[in-house]
Structure 1
Amino acid sequence: MERKLWLDKPEDGSQTEVGQLKGCHFLELEISSPQPTTTYQQMEGADGSKDMGTTYGPRTLSASFLIEGDDVFSFQQLQREVWLLFLSREAYYVRCSDNPGMRWLVHAKPFEYSVLDMLNKTFTVELEAFQGFAESVGTTLDPFTFDSELWQNGQGLIGEDFQYQFSNNKFSVYNAGDLLVDPREHELLITIEGQSEGATRIHNKTTGDVFVYNPVLLGTDVLTIDGPYPKINGLHCGRSTNHGLIRLATGWNDIEIHNAIGLQVSFLFRFLYH
């Protein structure tokens, strides 16, 4: 089966399959390994060093292509179209038919062509995945079916009926990715509708995180935690909270919401992968 590579532009929602450029043939996409960096602190008077944690740096994706022209003019036009496609000022997502359920946010590095003959050249684009991870194409509120063309094998979604919308106060949210979802760095939208008898308290028992909204919720109110920003009916309300955050660990997260009744709750996020 012919391999395909897509470039998805978040600013306008456009999706381009590189093979749609006549004469441009995608060959392969190579992905470098994760790039962990561990920080240590040496303690005076103590042996060894203290582990201060590990972070992951940018990774490189190498996309290889062959371009073929009908004549010199069409070949030069094709080269220009390729430059315009890859060398964008804005970051864009790359996804490959080898792993169609995952995408990488990248910037392309400058590249040159290797000449085979007058009308045939090869080139390799180095794409810097500066976040250091891939994310699922689908979100938790998309259909979990292979017919949706958003998911693939190897994403940790086999054998369970996963839910991300709830109408009770105790439930579990599954993070199928390899990484903790931190709303300060990653997309996470929690929406709560219902009434409260005092402050609304959201507790992720798995991570220990607690978020508190102090005013009473009316039945018409919509409380959202959009990344790190809490909002009530679309308006920022950080001063009315404990300034807490809700993160999602890998695997199951046991969530409990206190002092609220008649709930409708949803968790919208993408899974993150090494």
Structure 2
Amino acid sequence: MRSIHNFKVIYEDVEYDLSENDMIVNYLRISSPSPVHTRDTVPGAHGYIDMGTQYEGRQMEGKITIKAKDYLEYPIKRNKVFQIFFSRKPFYLIRDQEPGRKWLVKVDSAFNIPQIALTGEFTFTLSSPSAFSQSLGSTLEAYIFNYDYGQGLSVDDYIHSTSSFSIYNAGDELINPRQMKLVIKFQGASTNLKIKNLTTNEEWTYTGSSNVGDVIELNGILASKNELSIVPDTNFKAITLEPGWNEFLLTGTSDPFEISFDFHYQFL
């Protein structure tokens, strides 16, 4: 029987659908974000100064039932649970209820599986180092748009060949390349290239030049041309993407050129 709470466990080289492994997910509860506030005080002044808020990682708790055909099969089913959940590597969890989102998690602690006749039942806790789930694919992977992120987007909306364009972040959170995947690629001729996000008022600049066929890549906080670092020739800035539409302006380009944005949406 396939539970509405069913989920898949996905490692780099193998995928497990729990329902196909005779496991019934009774529930899976995802905790709210856990805020960590930074505060300061001024001697003699009332209250405090709000210095900002970050989120800790997320916790999940669930309950699963396993059923065996006979007493010889029961330990096989139990050991399969251990095989699926107890890897030293993190895995992605994808819920049937939200097939377009994935969580990076690990089992947080040990659990017991008490046997009653041919049935076992256990509760478990998962922890994610991130406060956010992310879209199943990135913006340059076509299958991401099989899921309802709104706006009727496609890969073409993240590849442009004009100096003025818009990029949509369908997630809940700012895409910050210092913490998350964001790869911006510019291919073509340029001199003193500037990439400006008019929405956030952030600008990345490069004081060099590129020829037709050259590829300038911003990957996280790093920058390269044809895979060789150009960081010393930049202004050491980073481009972020606010939730919703981000308006961009390029200067220093020469036609023809192409620029692309590759990232995962982030969801609370």
* Structure 1 residue identity aligned to 2:189: Q
Q: 1:215 corresponds to which letter in structure 2? A: G
The one of 211, 218, 224 aligned to 1:218 = 211
**One-letter amino acid of the counterpart of residue 101, structure 1:** G
* SS state at 1:88 partner: coil
- Counterpart CA distance in 2 for 1:70 and 1:111 is 26
- Write the distance in 1 (CA, Å) between the matches of 2:111 and 2:71: 17
1:1-274 → structure 2 map (5 Å cutoff): 2-3=3-4, 4-10=6-12, 12=13, 14-21=14-21, 23-115=22-114, 117-143=116-142, 148=146, 151-152=147-148, 155=149, 157-158=150-151, 163-196=157-190, 198-261=191-254, 262-274=256-268
Task: Label 1:145 to 1:39 Cα distance change in 2 as closer, same or farther (>3 A).
Answer: closer
Measure how far apart 1:271 and its partner are: 0.6
Contact 1:87 1:109 in 2 (8 A): no
Preserved contact between residue 100 and residue 144 of structure 2 (Cα < 8 Å): no
Shift of 1:192: 0.4
Query: How far 1:266 moved relative to its partner?
Result: 0.6
One-letter identity of the residue aligned with 2:7: L
Aligned letter for 2:96? S
| Residues 138, 144 of structure 2: 8 Å contact kept | no
Measure how far apart 1:144 and its partner are.
6.6
Quote the Cα distance in structure 2 between the aligned partners of 1:20 and 1:226: 38
Q: Identify if the C-alpha distance between structure 1 residues 9 and 114 changes in structure 2 by more than 3 Å, giving closer, same or farther.
A: closer
TM-fit CA distance, 1:116: 5.8
- Are the equivalent residues in 2 in contact too, given 1:59–1:130 (CA < 8 A)? yes
Q: How many residues matched?
A: 264
Q: Counterpart amino acid of 1:267?
A: F
Output the CA distance in 2 between the equivalents of 1:144 and 1:81.
Answer: 30
In structure 2, the residue corresponding to 1:168 is in which secondary structure?
A: coil
- The 1:160–1:223 alpha-carbon spacing in structure 2 relative to 1, beyond 3 Å, is closer
Residues 191 and 224 in structure 1, CA contact (< 8 A), matched pair in contact too? yes
Residue 142 of structure 2 aligns to a residue whose secondary structure is coil
Which shifted more, 226-235 or 110-119? 110-119
Unaligned runs of 5+ in 2: none
CA distance in 2, matches of 1:206, 1:102: 26
What is the rounded CA distance, in whole Å, between the counterparts of 2:99 and 2:114 in structure 1? 31
Letter in 2 for 1:225: L
RMSD: 1.9
CA distance in 1, matches of 2:11, 2:228: 29
Q: 1:33 to 1:243 in 2, by over 3 A?
A: same
DSSP 3-state at the match of 2:73 = helix
The amino acid of 1:52's aligned partner reads M
Deviation at 1:145, TM superposition (A): 7.4
Offset of 1:106 from its aligned partner? 0.5
Aligned AA for 2:16?
Answer: T
The amino acid that maps onto 1:210 is E
**Using a 3 Å threshold, how does the CA distance of structure 1 residues 110 and 145 change in structure 2: closer, same or farther?**
closer
> Taking structure 1 as reference, are residues 145 and 38 closer, same or farther at Cα in structure 2, changes over 3 Å only?
closer
SS at match of 1:163: helix
> Separation in 1 of the partners of 2:116 and 2:32?
34
How far apart are 1:77 and its partner, in Å?
Answer: 1.7
- 1:124 counterpart letter in structure 2: T
Separation (CA, whole Å) in 2 of partners of 1:115 and 1:191: 53
Structure 1 residue 72 displacement after superposition: 2.7
